[in-house]
Amino acid sequence: AATTTTTTRARRDAMMVRRRRVALGALGVAAFIAVQARGAAAHASYTDAGCDARAHPSSRRGGHDAPNGESGEISFGVYWCDVDGNDEVQEWETLNTRAMPDEWRVGTSGDEYAPGRRLTLVVDLGNLGASEVLLTTSGGRLEEIGKYEDRDTSLGTMVSAVKCSDGRRANPRFRASKHLFIWHSPTDATEEVLVRVTSANGESGQFMTSSITLRGNAALRVPSDTSNSTDVPTHDNSTDVHHENSSDADDSARVFVIHGVMMFIAFGMFMPAAVAWSRFGRPGEGQPPSGTWLKWHMWLMIAATAFVAISAFVAIGEINERGATHLDSAHTKWGLALMFIVAAQPINGYFRPANAASASEKSSIRTQWEWAHKSLGYFAVAAGVLTVCTGIDALSEHDESVPVRYYTGLFIVYMFTIVGFFAYAERRKRQSPHARSSRAAFVELSQIDAALDDPA
Of residues 125 and 64, more confidently modeled: 125
Q: Is the pLDDT of residue 47 over 70?
A: no
Q: What is the mean pLDDT of residues 109-116?
A: 92
- Please state, in angstroms and rounded to a whole number, the distance separating the CA atoms of residues 374 and 376: 5
Q: Is the pLDDT of residue 319 over 80?
A: no
Of residues 284 and 316, more confidently modeled: 316
Which pLDDT score, from 0 to 100, does residue 453 have? 44
Averaged pLDDT score across all residues of the chain: 74
- Count of other CB atoms within 10 angstroms of residue 121: 25
- Please state, in angstroms and rounded to a whole number, the distance separating the CA atoms of residues 43 and 56: 11
Residue 53, class by beta-carbon neighbours within 10 Å (0-12 exposed, 13-18 middle, 19+ buried)? middle
Of residues 111 and 288, more confidently modeled: 111
H or E element, residue 121: strand 118-124
> Can you spell out the DSSP letters for 407-455?
HHHHHHHHHHHHHHHHHHHHHHHHHSTT--SSGGGSPPHHHHHHHHH--
Distance, C-alpha 296 to centroid of its chain: 32
Q: Is the pLDDT of residue 311 over 60?
A: yes
Which pLDDT score, from 0 to 100, does residue 11 have? 64
Q: Is the pLDDT of residue 59 over 90?
A: no
CA 63-68-70 angle, 5° bins: 125
- Please state, in angstroms and rounded to a whole number, the distance separating the CA atoms of residues 108 and 286: 93
pTM: 0.50
Strand partners, 241: 176
Q: For residue 139, give the DSSP letter.
A: S
- Please state, in angstroms and rounded to a whole number, the distance separating the CA atoms of residues 106 and 211: 17
Which pLDDT score, from 0 to 100, does residue 363 have? 74
pLDDT, tens digit (0-9, with 9 covering 90-100), for 333-368: 888 888 888 878 877 777 777 765 555 566 778 788
For the four alpha carbons of 246, 123, 323 and 57, in that order, the dihedral sign comes to negative
For residue 447, name the pLDDT band (cuts at 50, 70, 90): very low
Q: What is the mean pLDDT of residues 292-319?
A: 83
Long-range pairs for 243-246 at CB < 8 Å and ≥24 separation?
243/151, 243/153, 243/174, 244/151, 244/153, 244/154, 244/173, 244/174, 246/153
Q: What is the mean pLDDT of residues 80-101?
A: 80
pLDDT, tens digit (0-9, with 9 covering 90-100), for 229-247: 667 777 666 665 655 544 4
Is residue 81 within 8 A of residue 93, CB to CB? The reply is yes
pLDDT, tens digit (0-9, with 9 covering 90-100), for 247-304: 444 555 667 778 888 888 888 888 889 888 888 887 766 677 677 888 888 888 888 8
The residues spanned by each domain of the chain are: 2-38+246-453, 44-242
Where are any strands of DSSP class E within 354-408?
none
Which pLDDT score, from 0 to 100, does residue 210 have? 92
Across 7-11, 121-125, 325-329, 436-440, least confident range: 436-440
Task: Collapse the DSSP code of 99 into the 3-class scheme (helix H, G, I; strand E, B; otherwise coil) and give the result.
Answer: strand
For residue 25, name the pLDDT band (cuts at 50, 70, 90): low
Parallel, antiparallel, or unpaired: how do β-strands 208-216 and 169-170 relate?
unpaired
Which pLDDT score, from 0 to 100, does residue 320 have? 66
Q: What is the mean pLDDT of residues 95-110?
A: 83
pLDDT, tens digit (0-9, with 9 covering 90-100), for 129-186: 888 888 999 999 998 876 445 544 444 455 677 878 788 998 887 778 888 899 999 9
Is residue 214 within 8 A of residue 111, CB to CB? The reply is yes
Is residue 356 within 8 A of residue 362, CB to CB? The reply is yes
The reply to whether 44-242 shares the fold of 2-38+246-453 is: no
For residue 101, name the pLDDT band (cuts at 50, 70, 90): confident
Helix residue ranges, H only, 65-113: none
The third-level CATH classification (topology) of the domain covering 2-38+246-453 is Four Helix Bundle (Hemerythrin (Met), subunit A) (1.20.120)
Range 44-242: architecture per CATH: Sandwich (2.60)
Q: What is the mean pLDDT of residues 105-122?
A: 91
Q: What are phi and psi of 73, to 5 degrees?
A: -75, -30
User: Comparing C-alpha atoms, which of 201, 134, 211, 141 is closest to residue 173?
Assistant: 134
Q: Is the pLDDT of residue 436 over 50?
A: no
Parallel, antiparallel, or unpaired: how do β-strands 208-216 and 112-113 relate?
parallel
Which amino acid is it at 140?
G
pLDDT, tens digit (0-9, with 9 covering 90-100), for 29-45: 544 544 444 333 444 44
